[in-house]
Chain A
Amino acid sequence: MALFKLQVNGKSVEADVEADTPLLWVLRDSLHLVGTKYGCGIAQCGACTVHLNGTAVRSCTLPVSAVKDSKVTTIEGLSEDGSHPVQQAWTEVDVPQCGYCQCGQIMSAAALLNKNPHPTEEQIETAMNGNICRCGTYHRIFEAIQLASTKMK
């Protein structure tokens, strides 16, 4: 075990874990930030998506030792009250069914819009291809991203 210092949602935090522990489990088990979900553990479903210096990454395959001083943003840090344009769009479009994948979907969408506020349909599909929604809310996810795009400053 070793002590890792991390920058998560604008705060300095510490976790005493093994170096190969994926960031996902540090967030969930050590820091109790459980909005980041486990779905597959092999970066196939996107439920564990967080931002590393603003870029969407799959935290289930990212060892904590590789994070170093990168800025980690989780769904809890996207906004405290759901006021981020993507979260607002998700609510306005009434996207979730079971909801389990949606934090990961939102983080992927937010990273996309951050870099490209007005993506084409093709760009949306490409950016979201790594996120599985088992309930099949894809139409609404797509619609919410287009709506959020109009809200981005």
Chain B
Amino acid sequence: MTLPKTNRRNFLKLAATASGGLLIGFHWADAQASAPSSIAVIGEDALAAGNVEFNSYLSIGTDDIITIMSPNPELGQNIKTSFPMIVAEELDADWKKVKVIQAPLDSKRFERQVTGGSGAVPHSWERLRKAGATARTLLIEAASKRWNVPTASLTTENSTVIHAASGKKATYGELAVEASRAAIPAEIKLKDKKDFKLIGTAVHNVDNPDMVTGKPLYGLDFYREGMLYAMIQRPESFGKKLKSVDSDAAKAMPGIVDVVTFKNNVAVVGKSTWAVNKARKALKITYEADGALESSADHNRLFKELLDSTDTSVVSVKRQDGDVNAAFKSAAKVITREYQCPFLSHAPLEPMNFFADVREDGVDLVGPTQTPELARNEVAKLLGISPYKVSVELTRLGGGFGRRLKADYVLEAAELSSLIKAPVKVIWTREDDLTGGSYRPAVRYRFSAALDASGNMIGYKLRGVGINAGNCTREDNFPAGAVDNLLIESVEHKSPITTGPWRAPITNFLAFAEQGFIDEVADAVKQDPVKFRLNLLDRAKATPVGAIKYDIDRMKAVIELAANKSGWGTKKGVAQGFSVYFSHRSYVAQVADVIMKKGKPVLDKITAAADCGVVVNLSGANQQVRGGVVDGLGHAMYGQLTFKDGAAEQKNFNSYRLIRMREIPGIDVHFVDNGIDPTGLGEPALPPTGGAVANALYKALGKRIYDQPFSKQEPLRATLGEKL
């Protein structure tokens, strides 16, 4: 097998750092295999010939530098630091001498080069540990031979093999060449988790030095000699298409090379960002209708119609337990509430951009993407060429939040480069970003609970209506399993307004609605909200109804930890709100503390308790939770994108409000220490926040909030304008 061109270039660079050292190859696919068939030492000859079948590399140089390829896109989830930490742990490496290289896309050699679904660490945990443990075993073998002592008499620490009896020591670099000649052992033993020294500690981001000095790390910073700049005018309304373009004035402006039309796009190509930005404004374009030009008022009407619809061809039943109709008929009390959220833009601070150089001999793509493989395959399809003629180099991403799971902006760059036959970088402005689609869908939910005379929840119904939201419920989540009669339905309205996954898709709002509703039901039956949730979970554990796809014990543990750490129910003069949610394999509970100051509510603190299994990097994990809470709070409070005749009405940060420093509360983070293999943390801290805050505001103000953004709802507007 021959390495594709780009990979070989990178690989040889890596090989140079490992020259004369130990290079371990491992397959990402065989993580669960206990035998080390998926791991091998890569020899010098194979290296030189490029005949290396193994798909990821860990190298130890004679200079003691340990290098690992990190395949996943880095967008702030800190994977570029956590991945090598896992390897270094099993290797007993000196962390100060570990280097990490961002790998380019190579779907033959890596698996799941994706940033999304909070999945990178859960997916790669075993693979990375085995790679580190294998290298450590080989280094011990080498020392054992060199000193003629049994391997069992040797220990390792800080990149050194130690023979305590004789006091002999050798660094990994000194042993690397001999280790590369040792045979891979039949069995690789992983550490007992209680012996972890590096995993679970706070390790600083490996890119800090480059980030705080302004090094060119991001796609927008990428520059190649001779590259052109482009901006694209897309239809400003969803439901319109291009009719005519007069580009004479734009073409005549300084620094402009060409104006090119493709699909519904008018691309202005020039020699600087400012030149194309200015010339674009001189385009005279007309559009014509191509579909419905929807406004937010239309959506509000549709939501109500579809929540009441009895048309079985429209309503999709997601889960049905027991006899819901009978339960609601026999109920002593029925509570029904509705919750609505608007569209949101992802608005990563680095706008969409991508570099493309489409040539006869191949295609170079460089930029920020969460899914390089999808981008490559779609570009290959568009150009009618083999995917193996397309290379994708990954820059650091200035945020993603799901927006960069789509390849639309990569395709634009590739198509434009192929048309102008030149290397070009397409840059989106913030206005392009906010008006350009792929939004968190707007959704409205209706929840109903049937209570018997003793206050037991005997029936539960949820119907969600989403705009291009797919299934806008999570039918098997809590409280499914804890209620005898349950009905979950989803309705989708198809719209020209494009949507896509937005951090914690669906649950980013569903969690608020559900946890707000549960709180209101607990209140109606005069039970403590924490106790009410725990009782439901005990019920689900004792007599489960239907399939339960969440872990009851893990959910209870975060509830108890959050209640305990927040001083739930013990604080005087503090209105506390509770929320808990399971998403992406992990569990997070939160308590919001609201205090009244001069008749106005102030969000003082949020206490978060998370169970993501083993915490790899305490610093990264802490910030991931705090960042998730800030994200959840900011969008619950202020996030809103509305539409008028198919066009987004908020076009930049002056009207699309993001949370700022003075609007954040204190945030305490606690982790459940249960030794479970990591279950992911990129998203799960976000969903519970809105519910905790709204429930605390209810206690403080005596009024419920049902819709987002909170700042525009009556209880808050009435008390403090829009600031919490």
- Residues of A with Cβ closer than 8 Å to B? 1, 17-18, 20-22, 25, 28-30, 32-42, 44-45, 47, 74-76, 79-82, 87, 90-91, 94-103, 106, 124-126, 128-129, 131-142
**How far apart are the CA atoms of A135 and B213 in the complex, in Å?**
19
Name the residue among A74, A125, A139 with the largest chain B CB count within 10 angstroms.
A139
The reply to whether A82 and B76 form a contact with Cβ atoms under 8 Å apart is no
Instruction: Report the nearest A residue to B400, measured CB to CB.
Output: A98
Contact A137:B208 (CB < 8 A) given known A18-B274, A47-B349: no
The reply to whether B217 and A25 form a contact with Cβ atoms under 8 Å apart is no
The reply to whether B629 and A136 form a contact with Cβ atoms under 8 Å apart is yes
Instruction: Report the nearest B residue to A122, measured CB to CB.
Output: B662
Surface stretch bound by A, among B244-252, B304-312, B652-660 = B652-660
How far is the CB of A118 from the nearest CB of chain B, in Å?
18
Contact A81:B213 (CB < 8 A) given known A25-B272, A99-B207: yes
The reply to whether A96 and B349 form a contact with Cβ atoms under 8 Å apart is no
The reply to whether B667 and A90 form a contact with Cβ atoms under 8 Å apart is no
Which B residues lie within 8 Å of A103 (CB)? Answer: 211-212, 214
Contact A91:B204 (CB < 8 A) given known A99-B217, A132-B349: yes
Q: Is B714 an interface residue (CB 8 A)?
A: no
Among B76, B202, B629, B634, contact of A97 (Cβ-Cβ < 8 Å): B76
How far is the CB of B253 from the nearest CB of chain A, in Å?
9
Q: Tell me how many residues of B have a C-beta within 8 Å of chain A.
A: 64
Q: A17-B272, A131-B660 known; 8 other A-B pairs, CB under 8 Å?
A: A20-B278, A34-B216, A75-B213, A90-B208, A90-B212, A98-B75, A136-B626, A136-B629
Which B residues lie within 8 Å of A18 (CB)? Answer: 254-255, 274-275, 278
Q: Is B481 an interface residue (CB 8 A)?
A: no
Which A residues lie within 8 Å of B217 (CB)? Answer: 99
Among A17, A87, A128, A142, contact of B213 (Cβ-Cβ < 8 Å): A87
Among A20, A37, A126, A142, contact of B220 (Cβ-Cβ < 8 Å): A37
The reply to whether A132 and B212 form a contact with Cβ atoms under 8 Å apart is no
**How far apart are the CA atoms of A32 and B305 in the complex, in Å?**
55
Among A25, A96, A139, contact of B667 (Cβ-Cβ < 8 Å): A139
Which A residues lie within 8 Å of B658 (CB)? Answer: 132, 134
Which B residues lie within 8 Å of A36 (CB)? Answer: 214
The reply to whether B350 and A100 form a contact with Cβ atoms under 8 Å apart is yes
Which A residues lie within 8 Å of B286 (CB)? Answer: none
* Binary flags per residue of B641-667, CB closer than 8 Å to A gives 1, else 0: 000000000001110001111101011
> Which parts of B195-212 form the interface with A (CB within 8 Å)?
202, 204-205, 207-209, 211-212
* Binary flags per residue of B67-97, CB closer than 8 Å to A gives 1, else 0: 0000000011110000000000000000000
Name the residue among B272, B400, B429 with the largest chain A CB count within 10 angstroms.
B272
How far is the CB of B683 from the nearest CB of chain A, in Å?
13
The reply to whether B626 and A139 form a contact with Cβ atoms under 8 Å apart is yes
Instruction: Report the nearest B residue to A45, measured CB to CB.
Output: B653
**How far apart are the CA atoms of A125 and B213 in the complex, in Å?**
23
**How far apart are the CA atoms of A97 and B626 in the complex, in Å?**
11
Among B223, B627, B653, contact of A135 (Cβ-Cβ < 8 Å): B627
Sorted nearest first, the 7 A-B pairs with minimum C-beta distance are A35-B214, A136-B630, A100-B398, A98-B76, A97-B76, A75-B214, A99-B211
**How far apart are the CA atoms of A39 and B351 in the complex, in Å?**
7
Pairs A–B under 8 Å by Cβ, sample size 6: A29-B274, A37-B220, A47-B349, A81-B213, A98-B396, A134-B348
**How far apart are the CA atoms of A20 and B667 in the complex, in Å?**
44
Instruction: Report the nearest B residue to A102, measured CB to CB.
Output: B211
The reply to whether B220 and A38 form a contact with Cβ atoms under 8 Å apart is yes
The reply to whether A76 and B214 form a contact with Cβ atoms under 8 Å apart is yes
Among A25, A80, A97, A126, contact of B623 (Cβ-Cβ < 8 Å): A97
